[in-house]
Chain A
Amino acid sequence: MSLFSGVQNWLNERFHWAELIGPLKKKAVPVHKLSYWYFLGGITLFLFMIQVGTGILLLLYYRPGANEAFESVQYIMTRVQFGWLVRSIHSWAANLMILTAFAHMFSVVFLRAYRKPREMTWLSGMLLLFLAMGFGFSGYLLPWNTLAFFATKVGTEITGQVPLIGHSMMVFLRGGEEVTGATLTRFFGFHVAVLPGLTTLLILIHLALVQYFGMSVPPGLEARWKAAPGEAREMKFFPNFLLRELMAWYIALGVLGALAAILPWELGTKADPFAAAPAGIRPEWYFMFMFQTLKKIPAKLWFLDGEIVGILMFGAAGLLWMLLPFFDHLGRGRGRRFIMGAGVFALTYIIAMTIYGYMAK
């Protein structure tokens, strides 16, 4: 008896392992020319796992606090064995994770994978994307460098513009009226305790929903396969799809390693709260489209404050985007066309404003 079957028997006797993993063995993944979009969710999950692993390693040396944070990251980068690699991978993986999450979201929109019965899968995915952006926003400040300090100041100031609750939210985020060491400690708490807890819970829900409903097939193909079941193609999730996913993870790992070794994430200069804000303060790239929009909105729109109008518009657009699956069946195809149009517009707008934000002086 091999070691593997010995362990399997041991688990079977105690936990009925074969029954537990039974559904996984039966799980199949549809095969068609757009199947490769299915990998994006898995790659995002892989990058999240990288984040957890490298994050734990960074925790061994990182010290939250206005007087220590920058120096501890500098220590990690220069003195700790492979500290530079761990920190650079953590930073690069964070950005790649948000990029793949965005790509995953738009693939779901354009393949209409959000449609009934997968509305809750879409909602949980959207919440995960918001949490990932929260990870990015809170993690950006942790090295306590100049750029992060002032970007956080601007970012939390924008939060403060939200009508009625804005100021309270800003004070809650900052731990006071200004960005100080208290903000850093607070962001650290969000980054390593609150957000990982919520994200893990939501990932489990998201995966359970994916497992429960199975992979979505594009509607046209689904109708064709329904009409001619013989044409339907699928592969076993285990091991066929999982092995392919593993290949994608390895490639992602290679890309991460190359980025970390060739373009190590820079540290910048230590934040000085009493210094004037340097020129070119900007948020992380995934907030750039919102930042640039708010910059370009006129100070006054009729009698309303332009920035407040912008924030409310983004809030409303985000809410509508989250409720997208519920419009799909409306108006005999009109809802569907509206969603496609909104998807194309959102993608174009995000790309264009991000590029504009980086090119504008």
Chain B
Amino acid sequence: MATWRNSGLPRAVILVLLLPACADLAHAQTANTCLDCHSALDPPRRVSEEQFAKDIHSQKGLTCASCHGGDPTKADLDAMSKKVGFRGKIERSQIPALCGRCHSDGAFMRQYNPSLRTDQLSQYQTSVHGKLLAKGDTKVAVCTDCHGVHDLRPARDARSKIHPLNISQTCARCHADAAYMKGHAIPTDQFEKYGASVHHDAMASRGDLSAPTCTTCHGNHGAAPPGVDSVQNVCSKCHVFQEQMYEKSSHKAAFQSAGLPGCVVCHGNHGIIHPTDAKLDAGPQGVCMQCHSPGDSCDQARAEMLSGLTRLDNTIKDADHVLAVAESSGMEVSEARLEEDQARDALTKARVTIHSFRKELMDHDIREGFKLAAKNMQAGTSALAERDYRRRGLGLALVFIFITVLGLFLYIRQLERSAPKT
């Protein structure tokens, strides 16, 4: 007969009683005990669980020990013993190399994000930041300055410091701080100028995330000022046609020989504002006379080009006005309105052609614009004539209607006067 002792029941009871303790043990083995203390510490040692949970590394399964070493399964200070590989706070000079341990390892990174580049460290070493760091200047930016630390988010996250909308502010934290930048011979007004630029306007006001920000022109991990010779290549990433025109122009060689930085000579760099035709003006807003002399052949060409653009602009505006009046009168002029866009395109094309600095090429575009604007003006004028014709027709019709109604009225009166009343 089976006894209580050998029935197996006591063992089952013990197992049930021990289960919570086993579960705690299992938890302890996988838990990140670092946060138990560090979430209660004051900054800069404070890292809350909530903060770390948002970190992309944490989300991919990495722990504090992945960067700082140590043994997070130990609940006491043994976790931070050098015997278990604890590295503690990473020196700024060591940060790029530390990040590079994983981020330069293609095979390792492929597990997490196969499309992520793995040349950041080598790029960084070519950057001004990297070179100065190598010389011992630890004030320069290292990975964590731009990407953040402990709550690091991917670039596509709008809250990330390296999201296109935030990059300029991230760079400005150092580059707009004159006290911090002391000792580095570069200006600190880039952010202020960029904030007033057409590029910032496109990014911040229109939400165009493809608009240029700091890294678009300077690079990111390999950040460096574009050299005099490469400015044109930087701008041409977007302004393709302007670059093609400039490449074939006489200014290319002239600027090169004078050591002038291409596009920047006329447009500036960080504070590029929307260019207007006034850039061709001989006055203070103009740029040509910075180098050319009044009355020379280039000055004459400049004046003629400016005149052509101004006349076309005015003609298009006149046609616009006539079409707007016709449209507000209820006339159907949508076709001419569409062609008016083409006239404006011709004007834009002519403005782009300026970069060839060849008047005959620009004249060709201006002529095309004039043809279209004249056609649209004609359409608007015809629509207004048609409107007047309709109104005259209406007047005549109303006169006929009035006469008929009056005739009917008189006829009814005569009819009822002559008939006996009922």
* CB <8 Å contact, B397 and A254: yes
B245 to chain A, nearest CB (A): 35
* CB <8 Å contact, A247 and B330: no
Interface residue count on the A side (C-beta < 8 Å): 29
B331 within 8 A of A: yes
A235 to chain B, nearest CB (A): 7
B408 within 8 A of A: yes
Residue in A74, A244, A251, A257 whose Cβ sees the most chain B Cβ within 10 Å:
A257
* CB <8 Å contact, B332 and A78: yes
Which A residues are in CB contact (< 8 Å) with B331?
A: 264
B158 within 8 A of A: no
Q: Which residue of A lies closest to B379 (CB)?
A: A78
Give the docked Cα–Cα distance between A239 and B418 (Å).
14
Residue in A74, A243, A251, A267 whose Cβ sees the most chain B Cβ within 10 Å:
A243
Partner of A243 from B390, B393, B412, B422 at Cβ < 8 Å = B412
A77 within 8 A of B: yes
* CB <8 Å contact, B422 and A251: no
* CB <8 Å contact, B422 and A247: no
* CB <8 Å contact, B415 and A84: no
* CB <8 Å contact, B405 and A250: yes
* CB <8 Å contact, A267 and B405: no
Which B residues are in CB contact (< 8 Å) with A267?
A: 332, 334
Q: Which residue of A lies closest to B402 (CB)?
A: A254
Q: Which residue of A lies closest to B393 (CB)?
A: A261
Tell me the chain B residues, 385-422 only, with Cβ under 8 Å from chain A: 390-391, 393-394, 397-398, 401-402, 404-405, 408-409, 411-412, 415-416, 422
Beta-carbon contacts of A152-173 to B below 8 Å, as 1s and 0s? Answer: 0000000000000000000000
Q: Which residue of B lies closest to A235 (CB)?
A: B422
* Interface of A: prevailing SS: helix
Interface residue count on the B side (C-beta < 8 Å): 22
* CB <8 Å contact, B408 and A250: yes
Which A residues are in CB contact (< 8 Å) with B422?
A: 28, 233-236
* CB <8 Å contact, A250 and B412: no
Residue in A261, A264, A266 whose Cβ sees the most chain B Cβ within 10 Å:
A261
B157 within 8 A of A: no
A210 within 8 A of B: no
Which B residues are in CB contact (< 8 Å) with A236?
A: 422
Which A residues are in CB contact (< 8 Å) with B397?
A: 254, 257
Tell me the chain B residues, 347-393 only, with Cβ under 8 Å from chain A: 390-391, 393
Tell me the chain B residues, 75-131 only, with Cβ under 8 Å from chain A: none
A246 within 8 A of B: yes
* CB <8 Å contact, B398 and A243: no
Partner of B391 from A78, A239, A262, A269 at Cβ < 8 Å = A262
Which B residues are in CB contact (< 8 Å) with A244?
A: 408, 412
B404 to chain A, nearest CB (A): 6
Give the docked Cα–Cα distance between A261 and B397 (Å).
11
* CB <8 Å contact, B334 and A262: no
Partner of A246 from B332, B390, B398, B408 at Cβ < 8 Å = B408
* CB <8 Å contact, A264 and B330: yes
Tell me the chain B residues, 299-349 only, with Cβ under 8 Å from chain A: 330-332, 334-335
* CB <8 Å contact, A243 and B401: no
Given contacts A234-B422, A261-B393, A266-B330, A240 and B415 within 8 Å (CB-CB): yes
* CB <8 Å contact, B330 and A262: yes
Give the docked Cα–Cα distance between A246 and B394 (Å).
20
Which A residues are in CB contact (< 8 Å) with B402?
A: 254
* CB <8 Å contact, A243 and B394: no
A263 within 8 A of B: yes
Which B residues are in CB contact (< 8 Å) with A253?
A: 401
Q: Which residue of B lies closest to A232 (CB)?
A: B422
Beta-carbon contacts of A218-258 to B below 8 Å, as 1s and 0s? Answer: 00000000000000011110011001101100110110011
A87 to chain B, nearest CB (A): 10
Give the docked Cα–Cα distance between A109 and B422 (Å).
28
* CB <8 Å contact, B401 and A250: yes
A232 to chain B, nearest CB (A): 9
* CB <8 Å contact, A240 and B412: yes
Tell me the chain A residues, 258-302 only, with Cβ under 8 Å from chain B: 258, 261-264, 266-267, 269
* CB <8 Å contact, A78 and B405: no
Residue in A78, A240, A267 whose Cβ sees the most chain B Cβ within 10 Å:
A78
* CB <8 Å contact, B394 and A258: yes
Which B residues are in CB contact (< 8 Å) with A263?
A: 330
* CB <8 Å contact, A261 and B334: no
Which B residues are in CB contact (< 8 Å) with A239?
A: 415
* CB <8 Å contact, A251 and B394: no
* CB <8 Å contact, B412 and A262: no
Give the docked Cα–Cα distance between A85 and B331 (Å).
11
A170 to chain B, nearest CB (A): 32
Which B residues are in CB contact (< 8 Å) with A243?
A: 408, 411-412, 415
* CB <8 Å contact, A250 and B404: yes
* CB <8 Å contact, B401 and A77: no
* CB <8 Å contact, B408 and A261: no
Partner of B332 from A74, A85, A240 at Cβ < 8 Å = A74
A-B contact pairs, 7 of them (CB 8 A): A85-B390, A234-B422, A235-B422, A240-B415, A254-B401, A257-B398, A261-B391
Q: A235-B416, A261-B390 are in contact. List 15 more A-B contacts (CB 8 A).
A: A84-B332, A240-B415, A243-B408, A244-B408, A246-B408, A247-B409, A247-B412, A250-B404, A250-B408, A257-B398, A258-B398, A261-B393, A262-B330, A262-B394, A269-B334
